[in-house]
Amino acid sequence: MSHSLNRRRFLSAAGGASLAFAQQSTRPPNIIVLFADDMGYGDMACYGHPTLRTPNFDRMAAEGMRMTSFYAAAPVCTPSRVGLLTGRYPVRAGQPNNFGPDSTNGLNVYEILLPQFLKQRGYKTMMIGKWHLGHAQPEYMPTSRGFDNYLGLLYSNDMIPPWVQTKKPLHLYRNTEPVELMEDQSTLTERYTDEAVKFLRASASQPFFLYLPYAMPHLPISASKLKGHSRAGLYGDVIETIDWSVGQILDTVKQLGIDNNTLIVFTTDNGPWHDLPPRMLAKGVEPWHTGSKGLLRGAKGTTWEGGQRVPCLVRWPGVIPPRQVSMDMASTLDLLPTLVKAAGGAVPTDRIYDGSDLMPHWQGKAPSPRKQFFYFLGRQLQGLREGAWKCSLRPGAGPMLFDLDVDPSELYNRYEQNKEIGDRMLARMKDFAKELDADFAKA
């Protein structure tokens, strides 16, 4: 169960919620999804970082819900975005691995993306930031997948020499055309923010969807506006710049008088990139340019908690009561069905969705509907969480069972003492891998 408002405080907020939903009957909520890249679970003050200053993240947490058991759909970039925008496990959607600059394919056009659902509901849609779902053909580009307009990078900011061997230069794109060679990335967050504010000001009179997947703190990191500002070094400068960006968006929404009809979600695509491959330690990139290790074991590229448990903040004044902290399980897979329903739509019945509507939970009215979460690395199913228990099976290792309520750092394997639970979860994993035609890790 989540730790939310006490009953009396919730009832006092219910009147405002009723008014907001009455307004929604004539106009659905504006929706803003902010998505960081490789940002660690503990990389905000409100998630426990000792030196990072994040007043705007902290404001979102104070004015809405902070989730402590929230999971990205995958521990790496492309499939994580697939899960977010389709509401389906990346293996089910047919794209469990990353695209590169020289990739010739893209996310299957059969998949219906969140902006396509929202356009059907009359939303104006804009994407600013990292795409990473295919770019070689026009049908794979953001403007063919539900976005009216696009500004950003088509893939990760390290996909150039010396970090990745390719002859393709890294360009900033507007819609379908390259408009600038990205030789200096230090002002990207500021530029994305300026574009976002322009979009908000131009769109306040109609329902809109803004998707802003930041380029950073994916390596190589750089900063401009707040360079040298953070006690947490260059990485701290980057995070505090993203926090500044969130503040600009919150302030703009308030100035436009649309605060009470705007739902904002902030989360990240996976955990921090620790244990860097040697190719990344070039051109000034240092091992400490990644997020905090903190409480969780593992990192990006793994199915340990540190790879997929990520921060998530949600805010909608008058609808989502303030100062809630939820320990309940939820995932980026749940965002599409939640946001589509909030917009007055429904997902089709011709395919299986792996998420559920979180809104009653966000409102403090019900537990999270998510009862299970499956951990995939590429096509390989390596773990399952049910309640507090997480069962893991990795190549070359025996079964592992962790009680995440007691042991979120996954230090103590309790499989031998709880074999009945572990074996039942292993059987469920095997069945699910078969259902998705995925690989099943063998000890």
With beta carbons less than 8 A apart as the criterion, state whether 380 and 374 touch.
Answer: no
With beta carbons less than 8 A apart as the criterion, state whether 191 and 245 touch.
Answer: no
How many other C-beta atoms are found inside a 10 Å radius of the C-beta of residue 11? 11
DSSP 148-183: SEEEE-SS-TT-STTTS--S---EEEETTEEEEE-S
Active-site entry in 77, 135, 274, 361: 77
Residue whose entry in the numeric block shows the structure tokens 């929202």: 118
Distance set, CA 33 to CA 85, 196, 283, 314 (Å): 11, 11, 32, 9
DSSP 80-109: HHHHHHHSS-HHHHT--S---TT---BS-T
With beta carbons less than 8 A apart as the criterion, state whether 336 and 109 touch.
Answer: no
Q: Is 132 a catalytic residue?
A: yes
Active-site entry in 46, 49, 132, 289: 132
The bridge status of strand 124-128 relative to strand 149-152 is parallel
Q: Is 171 a catalytic residue?
A: no
DSSP-derived 3-state class of residue 241: helix
Distance set, CA 175 to CA 151, 172, 179 (Å): 6, 10, 10
Three-state secondary structure string covering 246-271 = HHHHHHHHHHCCCHHHEEEEEEECCC
DSSP-derived 3-state class of residue 440: strand
Peptide bond into 217 cis (omega under 30): yes
Residue 3 DSSP class: B
Residue whose entry in the numeric block shows the structure tokens 């496990």: 89
Q: Any bridge partners for residue 324, and if so which?
A: 65
The bridge status of strand 372-377 relative to strand 380-386 is antiparallel
DSSP 199-236: HHHHHTTS-EEEEEE---SSSSP--STTTT--TTHHHH
Structure-token pair, residue 244: 């500044």
Residues annotated as part of the active site: 77, 132
